[in-house]
Structure 1
Amino acid sequence: MAYKQTQKYHGTVNSIVLAPCLFAVVDNTVAIWLNHGKDITNRRYANDEVLINPLTVSRLRLKWKFFAGKDISATPAVDSGVVYFPSWNGYLYAVNAFTGASIWKQNLSELTGLNGTGIVVNVTVSRSTPTIVNDLLIVGIYGPAVVIALKRSNGKLVWSTQLDPRPRVQITMSGTAFLGAFYVGVSSLEEALPAAQCCTFRGSLVKLDVRTGRVLWQTYMLPDNGGKLGGYAGAAIWGSSPSIDIIRRHVYVATGNLYTAPANVTECQEKQNNQTTPPTQPDQCIGPDIHFNSILALDMNSGKIIWSRQLGGYDIFYFACLTPNNPDCPPGPNVDADFGEAPMLLSIFANGTKRDVVVAVQKSGFAWALDRNNGNIVWFKLAGPGGEEGGGQWGAATDGRRVYTNIANSNRQNFTLKPSNRTTTAGAWVALDANSGEILWSTANPSNDTAQAPVSVANGVVFAGSVASNGPIYAMDANTGKILWSNNTGATVYGGISRFRNNDSTAQLSPSETRTLFQVQKLLEYPEALQGWNNWTSFCYLPPSSSLKIVCTNNHITEFTVIGKKSSPSHSPKPASGKFTVSQQTLSETFSTDSLFTVLAKLSNLKVLSLVSLGIWGPLPAKINRLWSLEVINISSNFIYGEIPSSISTLRNLTSLVLADNLFNGSVPDLKSLVLLQELNLGGNNIGPEFPSLSNSLVSITLSNNSLRSEIPSEVKNFAKLQQFDISSNKFLGPIPPSLFSLPSIQYLSLAQNQLSGVLPMNISCNAELKFVDISQNLLIGKLPSCLGSNSSNRSVLYSWNCLSSSYYSKYQHPSVFCNKEALAVKPSNKSKEQESKSNINFGLVIVIIGCVVVIAVVLGLLVLFIVRRAERNRSDDNIHNRSVAGKWSIRSSPRSYIDARRVAQTIRLAALGLPPYRVFTLEEIEDATNNFDPKNLIGEGSQGQLYKGWVRDGSVVLVKSLKLKQKNLSQSLMQHMGVLSKLRHRHLVSILGHCIVTCQDHPNTASAVFIVHEHVSNGSLRDYLNDWRKKDMLNWPQRMAITIGVARGVQFLHTGIAPGIFGNKLKIDNILLDDSLTAKISSYNIPLPFKVDSESPLGGQDKHLRAEIAEKEDIYQLGVILLQVITGKLITSASETNELKLELEKGLTESKLRAATDPSIQGTFAYQSLKTTVEITINCLGKDPSKRPSIEDVLWNLQYSIQVQEGWTSSGNLSTQM
């Protein structure tokens, strides 16, 4: 790296130009630019840009300028509407991306206590792009070689780590963060020393812990020279941001030239007549393991060099070589051909074969594509003339089709452009075919100056800057190189353009609505999703997440969605009095729904309002109609009680109304006026008794789990758009209208667990699109109509526990007397008052007769049930399905279990955000997903079956479990089993996405195979994190508490979210998987598998309730073992180890003893009282007497209390170094 190159970085640049600038605002969301190369692949490609394109780029206009008073040479980093960059004045800035207003600035000398080195400038500076890592900003100092981490919110210092103590060593490049680690290269200006003092520096790549700054490994590019002159020196990593290959677990980096080499090397070079090898070959005079001018792949975990490719031949260069014929300059070509930019990761098709490559452009002007596996050259091309300052440097870009690079042409050589064949001596920009390296076009710098700045690409437009004094930025057509737009910034452009912004609408939130959001945050008592807001938060540009989404249009909020983590009424203990009481799952006693909706009404443009699982309690105020623009309301899974206000029917724009899983009661107001309403979900309340009056425009109606007691109105025949109709778990009476099954759009029909009676006509027709019908647990008699009896792969029909007569399914039906008696008991009365008066005369006699009939019926019913149940235990397998579809194999769904699996709360379904709807897969789909069960996709095998990795047709990765079945009790077991499957979907479970049952044509009443499709969680297990010290360090105490609370919530769902509960779940850290956000998910929990019969269990002879109780307490014990390992950081492999660690914790709960017993890697991150609470509940979970172990609710309560204590401790300002 030449001196004059460095010197130029403090010339005339004195402003950062965010021309309509900084890549892409799309639909009110902001793309992020996390580091110098945008992300871990360093492709400098805004792949999410849609608004800026070759047709619209000319509309860009200057938005604002920010003047720092000194040069700004780094590509800005941008996230959440904030721009971060350093200046050569010694400050680091955070600026509002939409206004240019300063948010904070930090003087690096004052912040770090470092003194300027006097190299180039006399203040402590950074010259590189800061790297955004969650809540941190990490950046290197331009001498000494120190890396610092700051809080993004205020710029306060978090940690500081020196990587090399020598005075002229520095950080000149931007680092890359991935999975809790920060990778950064070390550079030097020793090459500027006089020849007699140069040089001993060796370039290195360093891996740091993101949270602490601790050095995890440091790999040098040259052999140890003992700090003495005359050995190998140089190979700095000065402009090459590391790139991360998450599949191979490689980190790629490129290095600079040698400063010096041993005498034998220079002597060899003289014998070679000062000639070197072709650029594709290592120089013949250089020994092995000399990684100068090289692209390297290193192992992410160890730092070991996997492969290295030295490119460009002999190159020993330091500043003495800038003087022509200087005798101090080592002999040789001295081309100064080092790499000064990040390697880019992409996949190409070379000669028709897919290759994963790493691409970089050298200061020599050569572009290289190397195979990521071994470093072999796939293609190379001289893109343009090289020189001490390039050639290519600071950053090429690629969109996957082309590679775009600057050619600085610092030596002003003749440069022939393509395809025009015109010659220039200026800098230029070049596009190469990514697959072959062929030059597609080259465009000269119109300002006739060099082109030092990196390029960026977005949606068919290439952006670049010029070092001309007027500072033009150019936009070129990526396909042709034609210049489409330019803007003079007024300052030389050396830094890259990081992202662009749509200039049509600023979408800056009005101050009044900003205040409203802070009021809502306070009224909702600061839920997790709303934490971290401050006066600089750009609400309209917060990235959407699973718990928060804010959308703005024309400076106003139009969507506000908040999803909390509190339980709903169906998963909270019921008060003994039956009256509502404030609890830990609700907001506090001071909360007021009236106040909340008064404040929300200030958001006059709000169209979508979702407040879910937040513990909101109280009546829904009539003033909700003040939110007149609402189109979607979802306030499900709260504790809102009372009647639904009639004013809600005046919200004429409503298309979706979801009030499910609350405590509403009484009648539903007339909603016929809501002609735009498409979705109505009032499930899981206490609404009744009459069916509500509704508009026939509805597409989905859910009224399940209420107190509705009426006949299904005949008006439903007019609901031509209705696709889903769920009125299960009510007390509906009378016959089922036959028209329900043939509605023009109907697809899903659930009428289960009511008191519907009568006979279904045999000739009713079913809509061809009807996929699911559940009429189970009613009082139906007669035979099943033919269109419902044709179960196939595309229609599931559940009809158990009625009084239907057929030899195929009588085993799972009540005797006919049962339905006759029950139907008589619930039959609505049609008598007039006069008739009732007359009937009272003989009332006593009637009572006597009815009493006798009831007694006789009960006795007969019990006798019949006894006979039927006894026959069940002795009967061989029957299948309640009617028949297979044609062909050798058929795929069928199973009837839902007669247990109350339907009573899974709406909050649980919401917890599975991001999952596709549960579905029945065909065998063809299973075979396609696994590539016909290719052994390469087999990832596990056991006595119960095999586990395959697969890819479904939408491209998502799944796991397919193939179960080995026994025929004994198959039909009954499958019915119970499959009925629960669709309900096993929860934030803290590895959820089930669907199933497939295969039957054999020769035996249509038996199934030969069952496939269960699970979601795929790919970030490793809790064991992986506790077993790897690098990963373990990522898990501080709050993170570990979040994981254990997630496990406890998953167990709570298994125990109480399904009826009957699921126990005996084999909980262990191997089965606790962590997703990309470290959310815990329980895998391998106890699905009631078809082949797990009682006789095979050691508890088989015991009463099932006793077995469940024992298994429940065993789950608690296993949860205690998990907690024990989380606290101590020690992996447990035996019961004796569990007892030893438990005894160690029981010795004392004093602060000093607990500190000694806990994992050293969490020291300083926990509050003592938080740790003590967790230890106490852990010891209780591990109690020898199962009956004295706590319930899962007790465990969860204690863990939540522990994290509340921890949050209070953290917010009080305790540092990570304090206990």
Structure 2
Amino acid sequence: MCSVSPKSVKQGWKFLVLLKVSSCCIACILFGLADALSSTQIQSLLALQKLLERPSALNSWSLQTDFCNLPPSSSLNISCSDGNIIVLQIVGDKISLSVEQKFNANYTEANVRLSDSFSSDSLANAILKFPNLRVLSLVSLGIWGVLPGKLDRLPSLQVLNFSSNLFSGSVPQRFASLGSLEILALDNNILNGPFPDWLNVLPNLDTLYLSSNRFVGSLPSSISLFQNLQSLTLDHNLLTGQLPSSISRLKYLQLLSLSENMFADNIPNLGSLRNLQYLNLRGNSFGPDFPILGNQLVSVYMQSNKLAGPIPRFFQSFYNLQSLDLSFNSLSGAPPFTLFSLPSIRLLDLSDNQLSGVLPYNLSLGTALVLLDISSNFFTGPLPRALTLPSSEKLLKFQENCFVTALQQQQPQAYCQGMPTLMAAHSSHHVGLIVGVVSGVVAMIAVVAILLATIRSFNRSKRGSSLLAEHNTSGVQPELLSYTRYLSPVIKTRMTDIPQSRVFSLQQLEEMTHNFSQKEVLGEGQHGQVYKGWLEDGTAVAVKSMAVDLRQDVTQLQAHIELLLKIRHRNLVSLLGYCLEREIGQQNYWHLFLVSEFVDNGTLRSKLAKTEDKESLSWSQRLDIVVGAGKGIQHLHSGLVPGIFNNDVNTTNILLDQNLLAKVCDFGLAGHWQDSQGSDGKLTVQKPTTYIDVNHQRRKLGLSEMDVYNFGHVLLEIVLGKPATIENPYAAKPKIKELELLITDHVPRWDVIDSAVVGTCMAESLATVLDIAAKCLSEDISARPSMEDVVWNLQYAAQVQENVSRELSPPDTQTKART
């Protein structure tokens, strides 16, 4: 017989499925099971061809086709035994949409799904014509409707793969009678309902893939009854609650991936999972405690959670560890120095935490290390020698610390002072101790004033007291974790002299702007007119005026603005205060004034514009600017809980200071606007046709991908030196003219690129930017990278440019750069 037996752990489920399917087919051939197909099954295959509307893989089928001897390919695989189909694997060419697109977009086009005449019940009837099926894989065929429970009539089925289709509803409980099933892959559909724990009765089930659906609720403690489970992926769903401790009883588990859900609280002890090699928990709210892990792990991804305290020292015995990503947490203290020299480590990302201390000058780096990122922490002292040595094989990122070096941009020493004391307090689970110690430090740096002055809505006293409420035995309250999440970026900017946030009166704003004088107009953006103003102490600020439709809820908008007031990041324009006034004579329209820090060196677009009296930005400067802007957007997406998306990303909203530091403005204000005159006759404002988007859970609706798409336009603009030309922007799929020219034959078209950077822009650096720009602008939303990936690629492009520039510079210049 052709048996599909479990294999060793795989780093991707698709490879695992294909390997098992292929092993089955090879076994069939070796044992001479392939033979002539019965006429009944030939007719059934042709009926299936018609039912699936003749995908390209089946287009050549006819009565004369020798189905049992068709050469296997990536899109079609058929195996026979005793005149019966036992393996049927078809991969179609329908466009694969994200689950957000499937819920919110019109996906009835022929290249996305089958026609309205299709019936999933008819499909099931056709499949049941092959009663001896052991492997059934129908992928990317545009199949829609509910999952047919009648497939439980296939007693020999070992692999069922319906990935990347449009199945909806819940997983049929009838699947629990598929006693031979080993692999069930239903990822990238629009399935919903709770996790199907009734599948635990399947004695041979070792692989369960349910990622990119809409499963809700928590994982039940009965998860431990999946006793033979080796691989479990539930990424990109809507799962909540605490991860059950019973998951640690899955003794055969090799791959566990639960990223991009809404899990919270501490991760249970996973040290008993002795076979676990791949663990992906990123993009949840796990924490604050760091879980116990087994030292057999190969890949660990826990970025963008709420982990706090020191990095455990047990990692020093993880000799098989190749990838460790702990970025965008609140980890503190000095990391274990042996972590950098693990024998197998290839990727180590500790960026955007609160790590501190002095790294040894003779710090060793592992020979296999390819990427090391310790940027945006609070390290001090001399830079370890291993980080100063140029290497074409390693990408080393250590900027935004307080190292004593001229390599990569650092913060002043005062920036990192006092962090060990603060982080020791932050790692404690006793809320009283946290409040006491943090309050002492924060009082010295006025952070309490920055945060508490913003909480001025009708329920501010109730909410403020809840932040410091008593804790339970499981750890810090979620409200306090949210508070400390914002505390970190505020502390990081405490040396920038940003005034405290506040609620202004209209009279105060009139005084600040000389009664909104036209002489103080800085410009008019998409969301409203902007004036220059001055606080009482002489600090220059920008005052934006807009009109908003508040039929939705005034308090909801106030809460949204207070969220924006708390955000502090060096690459984001800080919002300092606001004023909300009802528009005279309009019941549902209000004037909203936003007061933000004044950034005085223009926009990225203005700096790219060519004039005779100014010097063009160099390629290195352009890369530094987009890296900074990208990090600001990345912080909005994954550095905050909840994240903020759909941020109107463009080169006019990337402001520059005198040091060309990029700061993104107007984030969190996305909406559709039209020109209008204010009722008081003095202000030209923007009147919205829709509400300000105050939904903080929009990551699931694809708005992060919209930011990425718009950032792709920013990247094209720094390459071209001007906005990209869109051919027929009203078309269903508008084409970007220059993008096709720039990537023709994978060779840069220097005649299209901005002449100001030709000759100084390194080809590999440019190619990297063009490649990531093309991915950002992909018509397939699911194919667009995350902002984290975008920033990584841009940093790589900048590193390539820097390395080549250093090699070409005179030796004395290189010496000065290293001191």
TM-score (structure 1 length as normaliser): 0.31
Instruction: Flag the structure with higher strand content.
Output: 1
Structure having the larger proportion of residues in helix? 2
Q: Which structure has the higher relative contact order (CA within 8 Å, separation 6+)?
A: 2
